[in-house]
Chain A
Amino acid sequence: MRATNLVLSAMIFLSTPLRAPAQKVDMVEATYRLNWPDSISDIARANRIPSEEVTKFLNSLRAQEEEPQLRVEEFRFASIERGRIGLAATVDASGRDLFYGVWVVLPEGTKFRRTLLASAPPHFLAREVLDLDGDGVEEVIAKEPIGGYQGARTDPIFWYSIFQFRRGLPKDVSSNFPEFYRRAVLPDLGYLLQLLALVGNTDPNAVRFQQAEIQFLQLKFTRKILGEQDAGLQEAVAWTDTGDTRLRELAISAFEEIPGPQSLKRLQELGRSDDPIVSRRALNALARLREKGR
């Protein structure tokens, strides 16, 4: 069993992503023409294009012939970059209508630049593509569950990332919008914590992970948006020591974001874990840090 785990860990180490897995950008040609809006005043007309046409268009944007068929849940044209109108669409390729991503497509000459932002359902694009700073250009908000996808038990506790597009490329500008988190994200957490505490009174183990996810989210706000880089280090150490796979995965996410030798040492230890899920996550995190030169 141990030998199997070592092999798995070694294999997965080799599978280190070369770029942030939450985004994928490529330049592709379209074989199906869509009547793209040519001005802001034309957006309302374009947003009434039948969904089937948008689906055909997105399926014609292929880097290779054998890509799976995409299904479109919702789409929206918007001024996604100054002077350029883009298309945002929630899409699925699983055949199960999971819709775990938002494709953003911007025309560029005769081609299109398409960006996938990993973003979990439920979606409502009117609340995900909007002009947060009032400059006339929409931001795109993507959300990912803190604990990752876990089938039916995925907890609806999300980290939100805010993107602006420049020259067709997404840039994470979340830290420019602390008020978004203070007013739209953090207030709900207090209520959720109270509910969890009620359940926890009779069965603390039943809600321990969800409480940790909320704590992770609050600490990530402190870390990423307020700039306190070490926020959450102690909590991550405590999660590591529990031996619980899911809590240790949360710890790995925190260690990856917290600079310094203590985080690195902990990640290296977790990379040697007998738990293949934990070791995979830790080794992938270490490899990403190496790419960033940390």
Chain B
Amino acid sequence: MSLQCEATLLGRSFSDSETAYVDGTTIPNATITTRLSGLYSGGATPTLLAHIAVYESAGCYCQFRQATLFGVPGRWPNESYDGGSHVGLMQVPNGMVNAFDWMANTQAGSTIFQQKLAYVRNWVSPQRTSHPTLPDLTGTQYEDDALVFYGPYSVELQHYYIPNSGYTGWILNPNSAHGQGYVLNVRSSVIPN
């Protein structure tokens, strides 16, 4: 943030400018966990968003991390490796709000994850209508599939589970190794106290 002041007194012009940098602060782990669990309180795995945040934010469970930017050491937004296209706890697209407002960042990640859950429900539902013998996925299984589509390997368009040949149950999709690996990595992430 730059401030520039100009004044004219008795025909003489004066000007001065000052640049200040706004960085972040440490957010207690427990505060982050409470927030993320609250955003997904009705879920099969209430801490799932917290697991996503641990993995996506590189294990540091942080919106900001210590770094030097513009020559200024401080707690700067936790940016992705590629020049900062993604940011913060949930590694959502970068921008002033997602970078500096951790509540907005977690809300954005939660909204995307909920969209993925809705997408999976819309994928499962017509199949169960067409094949009444096909059971519903469990809550955890819905989460697994939604996680695949939250992650980078969603682009492979491969679900975590697919119906078996008789449409009497679900099996692991043999073509979803990347996505299943992402799910395992997220679920294995340890939420810090």
Contacts and interface: CB of A to CB of B under 8 A. Distances in A.
Given A92-B155, A151-B56, A24 B175 contact: yes
A213 to B, nearest CB: 12
Given A24-B157, A121-B82, A121-B85, A284 B177 contact: yes
B86 A93 contact: no
B55 interface: yes
A281 B181 CA distance: 8
B73 interface: no
A101 B154 CA distance: 9
Contacts of B158: 24
Interface string A5-26: 0001001101111110100100
Interface in A31-48: none
Interface string B88-130: 0001110000000000000000001001100100110010000
Given A24-B175, A66-B123, A277-B188, A116 B151 contact: no
B133 interface: no
B91 to A, nearest CB: 6
A93 B149 contact: yes
B155 A11 contact: no
Contact of B156 (A15, A116, A154): A116
A96 B86 contact: yes
B151 A149 contact: yes
Most A Cβ at <10 Å: residue of B112, B152, B156, B178: B152
Interface in B153-185: 153-158, 171-178, 180-182, 184-185
B88 to A, nearest CB: 9
A68 interface: yes
B172 A68 contact: no
Nearest to A62: B157
26 contacts: A11-B172, A15-B172, A15-B174, A16-B174, A21-B156, A21-B178, A24-B175, A65-B126, A68-B154, A92-B155, A94-B154, A94-B155, A95-B150, A96-B92, A98-B151, A100-B155, A101-B155, A116-B155, A121-B82, A121-B85, A149-B153, A150-B58, A151-B55, A151-B56, A152-B79, A154-B80
Interface of B: 55-59, 78-83, 85-86, 91-93, 112, 115-116, 119, 122-123, 126, 149-158, 171-178, 180-182, 184-185, 188
Interface of A: 8, 11-12, 14-19, 21, 24, 63, 65-68, 70, 91-101, 116, 118, 120-122, 148-156, 276-277, 280-281, 284
